[in-house]
Amino acid sequence: MTPVREMELLRTETLENAWYSPGEAFHAGAKAFELIVNASCSFYDAAIFLEWNGEQQYSITYSSERGRVSVDRGGVDGIRMADWNPEGQLKWRIFVDASSIEVFCGNGEVVFSSRIYPKKNIHIRIGGEIQLHVTQYKLKRSIHYDEKLRQYLKNNFVTKTRLY
């Protein structure tokens, strides 16, 4: 399962586009955002931690030794995990808003969806053993039907009905 292509229409600006080493961090800068996280190799452990209120609240980790990806929302929710072996390159697409987080691993081989309720701005910290390239997009709240959307639908979907 992969995110629908229309999610890209929600992007308003690029907030981050850089390599980060384990231990480095940055502020999300938005309440609703998309992260595209890549590592050039899948032979090392990787992790990303989302923190607010000064504490780690949500983590996404990949164990190369176990061939497993996991998410931890903390508290009584515990850890959810799935077997996953990325083909050469680790890739996560992560969508966050005021009450949820969705994590797409690779080409959708594994997907996690969780409820989260950050009280303040989210702080993102890199963990694991390898540098991660992070691209972050600020997302608008909804797609308004305008000329840009009409043209996108016209170019990407064959339909027998007329677009108004």
Asked if residue 124 belongs to a domain, the reply is yes
Q: How many residues does the chain have?
A: 164
Asked if residue 131 belongs to a domain, the reply is yes
What is the chain's Cα-based Rg?
A: 17
Tell whether the model's pLDDT for residue 20 goes beyond 60.
yes
Segment 30-85, tens digit of pLDDT: 889 999 999 987 788 999 999 988 777 899 999 999 999 999 987 767 899 999 99
Q: Are 92 and 50 in contact (CB under 8 A)?
A: no
Euclidean distance between CA atoms 23 and 137, whole angstroms = 22
pLDDT band for position 141 (cuts 50, 70, 90): confident
Q: For the chain, how far is it from start to end, CA to CA, in angstroms?
A: 30
More confident residue, 72 or 156: 72
Euclidean distance between CA atoms 96 and 123, whole angstroms = 12
Domain that holds residue 98: 5-156
Euclidean distance between CA atoms 69 and 61, whole angstroms = 6
Tell whether the model's pLDDT for residue 97 goes beyond 80.
yes
Note the pLDDT of residue 146.
59
Asked if residue 164 belongs to a domain, the reply is no
Asked if residue 128 belongs to a domain, the reply is yes
User: How many domains are there within the chain?
Assistant: 1
Note the pLDDT of residue 142.
65
Q: Token pair of 109, please?
A: 């081989």
Asked if residue 38 belongs to a domain, the reply is yes
Asked if residue 87 belongs to a domain, the reply is yes
Asked if residue 57 belongs to a domain, the reply is yes
The whole-model pTM stands at: 0.83
The mean pLDDT value of the chain amounts to 87
Domain containing residue 64: CATH number = 2.60.120.560
* Cα–Cα distances in angstroms (integers) from residue 99 to residues 31, 34, 117, in the given order: 10, 14, 5
Asked if residue 52 belongs to a domain, the reply is yes
- Count other C-beta atoms under 10 Å from residue 127's C-beta: 19
